[in-house]
Structure 1
Amino acid sequence: MNEPGPVVRPTILIVDDTPENLTLLSELLKLLYRVKAARTGEKALQICLGDDPPDLILLDVMMPGMSGFEVCRRLREQPRTRDIPVIFITSQSAADDEIHGLELGAVDYLTKPINPPVVLMRVDNQLRVKAAADFLRDHNQFLEQEVQRRTQELAAIQDVTIIAMASLAETRDNETGNHIRRTQHYVAALAEHLRGHPRFAAELDEETCRLLYKSAPLHDIGKVGIPDYILLKPGRLTAEEFEIMKTHAALGLDALEKAEQRLGMDVPFLRLAKQIAYGHHERWDGSGYPQGLAGEAIPVAARLMALADVYDALISQRIYKRGMPHAEAVQLIAGQRGQHFDPDIVDAFLFLQGEFQGIAARFSDATH
């Protein structure tokens, strides 16, 4: 069985330029506390900033060089020393001096000649207060670290869930996992660029941009509900097959809503994921699906994904088509400004087209 270690006694620093006062206070305190002594303010600061700072300081005011008031002021300026309690012990008994000392941050003010029992009681009281404050500070720091750790855990669980769900859709689709990565980065680039735009600033704050990046991979999650003979068909779909394929938007919304219902709470990234999954085939002019929404009625998240998804579809090679050159895809999208796409999002895309090309190269289907 482990025996308890030795009790560490609090350390008191006595600062006084008079040797007799140092001796008197040291003899009074050394039976209960570890005692350090300094005859100048400069030496006191050196001790306080060292590896073994005191738990409390008894500080004279009138000293040659740096006064006790100046020592106290400097202690309060330093993060490492500002929480060390200071008790002034001085022959200056004027009320103005006492007020000034307390205004500088001292916890108490005693006048000489000292009354030993009073000094011991004041020191003990302030050490108790400091111990309680230290406990609360350490406890709050622990709680903050614990909240941060739990938050990181939840974020990691979210990320793993998104990756798992997106990977599930990916395994049943002719499109590659790099399509998911590319569109994710396209959306993030557009959102970040439009953050300062008057039309988008209210919705595209920093947190929303972060959640858009997280939720974008779920845009085609509904494809898990599309029959294989349509989803994996190595060629163009018939009109009837395309109508079935179009249901993936509603299937995606349904899957994400059920996930949210199971959680029993509103989850911000799932809210955006639902908007993207259900609305990224809507068109600015109202000719899209599944609802035929137009203009501002289409959620911003869906409008961003609409352009990102089309650009990637244009430049990507499929069994039934070649990949379109970047310049040709840019020209086609520019021609759909105000028809298929939000005009301001097209303008952002044209500004960022070099970045889009870089993302496409970085996550090309040839990447292993």
Structure 2
Amino acid sequence: MTVLIVDDDEANLFIMAAVVRRVDGAEPVTVAGPAEALDWLRNNEPDLILLDQMMPDMDGMELLRHIREDRRLNEVPVVMITANTSVEVRVRALDEGCNDFLTKPIVVPEVQARMRNLLALRQSRSLLRDRAALLAAEVDRVTAALQRQGQELVHRLSRAAECRDPETGAHIERMARYSEVIAEAAGFDRDYSRQLRHAAPMHDIGKVGIPDLILLKPGRLSPEELLIMRQHTQIGHRILADSAVPLLQLAAEIALSHHEKFDGSGYPHGLAGNRIPASGRIVAVADVFDALTNARPYKRAWSLTDARDFMLANRGSHFDPDFMDAFLTRWDVIRDIHHTLPDIEEVMTPDD
């Protein structure tokens, strides 16, 4: 362990270096004054500093202050070596961050004992710091693995839901990307926007619980059938709820709330305004836009312009005004996603 010795007297430096070498595992570095010490400390971090109090130009007290101003050196123990035995000097040094004192003339066994104690403390702190860093890295690794597992689970469940509703094609990928774009435009951070993209494909997972006669019906649903179809929001929430995985928690929230409307006329709970989770309000914009602009057995595909005009007309009723505005600010990106991810059987037509 490195011990920095700062003293303007060459004889004192020689003696203190010899004392340090007699402590197992300690290696002295000697500097002949505060300016040289500060220069060395810019690129090095010792394990202990032995600092003479009385030096010309800059005394030990001022040098100590400079050392403690460097956050990198904040935990390095400093021992002040002084011939001044006044309480005032010692209190001042302690206030500046001194850890211990040695009084001249030094007693070698005392110096070595204090050094061993302080170096042992330094080593323990370094080990704790390294262990904390290792634990933090391990937590990050496990967290990342859980996130990957959650994303894979969401992807596979989404594919399972798509197998029961094959007409949707690339719908889940498009609306997931729309959701991410809207979230970013609305000011959400990158992590949340990505999580939303990964969770959004689960919005209709509850359709696995809807009978085929209703789910795959080519025409419009009767009022009774529509009631059954609307149950997919609650079914999806039951499938995903109570998970310890944050991604699945977000997916459960989306599954339950993406058919709520800003004015309270949606389902399943008729929530309004900010009572609807932000994730549900964002996905509502993305989901409806994609449903309008792609063909289904019961309807033709709308042009992007017609879909945009319809949604603008429902800004503040069906759609959250803020998220609708965010959607419009990224219109070029939305158009690119629409055109680069067509349904397999869709024939591309120019936007009017």
TM-score (norm 1): 0.78
Which among 32, 36, 39 is matched to residue 43 of structure 1?
36
Matches within 5 A, 1:174-323: 174-176=166-168, 178-194=170-186, 211-228=195-212, 230-232=214-216, 235-239=218-222, 244-257=228-241, 260=242, 263=243, 268-284=246-262, 288-290=266-268, 293=270, 295-296=272-273, 298-319=276-297, 321-323=299-301
CA distance in 2, matches of 1:350, 1:287: 23
Report if aligned partners of 1:330, 1:353 keep a CA contact under 8 Å in 2: no
Distance 1:31 1:299, change over 3 A: closer
Corresponding position of 1:28: 19
CA distance in 2, matches of 1:91, 1:177: 85
Shift of 1:347: 4.8
Root-mean-square deviation (CA, aligned residues, Å) is: 3.3
CA distance in 2, matches of 1:101, 1:285: 67
Distance 1:87 1:164, change over 3 A: same
- Name the SS of the counterpart of 2:38 in structure 1: helix
Corresponding position of 2:159: 167
Corresponding position of 2:143: 151
String of CA shifts for 1:308-361, please: whole Å, max 9, x gaps: 211111111345543211111111122334544445554554455444334424
Shift of 1:220: 0.7
Matched, 1:142 2:134: yes
Letter in 1 for 2:107: N
Letter in 1 for 2:4: L
Distance 1:227 1:67, change over 3 A: same
Deviation >6 Å, runs of 4+? 204-208
Q: In the comparison of the two structures, how many residue pairs are matched?
A: 341
- Name the SS of the counterpart of 2:101 in structure 1: strand
Shift of 1:20: 1.8
Report if aligned partners of 1:49, 1:80 keep a CA contact under 8 Å in 2: no
CA distance in 2, matches of 1:103, 1:38: 25
CA distance in 1, matches of 2:285, 2:18: 81
Greater CA deviation, 224-233 or 28-37? 224-233
- Name the SS of the counterpart of 2:29 in structure 1: strand
Report if aligned partners of 2:263, 2:316 keep a CA contact under 8 Å in 1: yes
Corresponding position of 2:305: 327
Greater CA deviation, 182-191 or 205-214? 205-214
String of CA shifts for 1:214-271, please: whole Å, max 9, x gaps: 42211110222334455455x42453765554443333233224xx3xx5x5x55444
Distance 1:84 1:351, change over 3 A: closer
Corresponding position of 1:128: 120
Q: Unaligned regions of 5+ residues in structure 1, if any?
A: 1-9, 196-203
CA distance in 2, matches of 1:96, 1:362: 76
Higher RCO, Cα 8 Å, sep 6+: 2
String of CA shifts for 1:93-144, please: whole Å, max 9, x gaps: 3333322322222211222121222212221221122122222222222222
Letter in 2 for 1:182: R
Q: Unaligned regions of 5+ residues in structure 2, if any?
A: 347-352
CA distance in 2, matches of 1:135, 1:215: 40
- Percent identity over the alignment is 40
CA distance in 2, matches of 1:81, 1:177: 60
Greater CA deviation, 138-147 or 316-325? 316-325
TM-score (norm 2): 0.81
- Name the SS of the counterpart of 2:177 in structure 1: helix
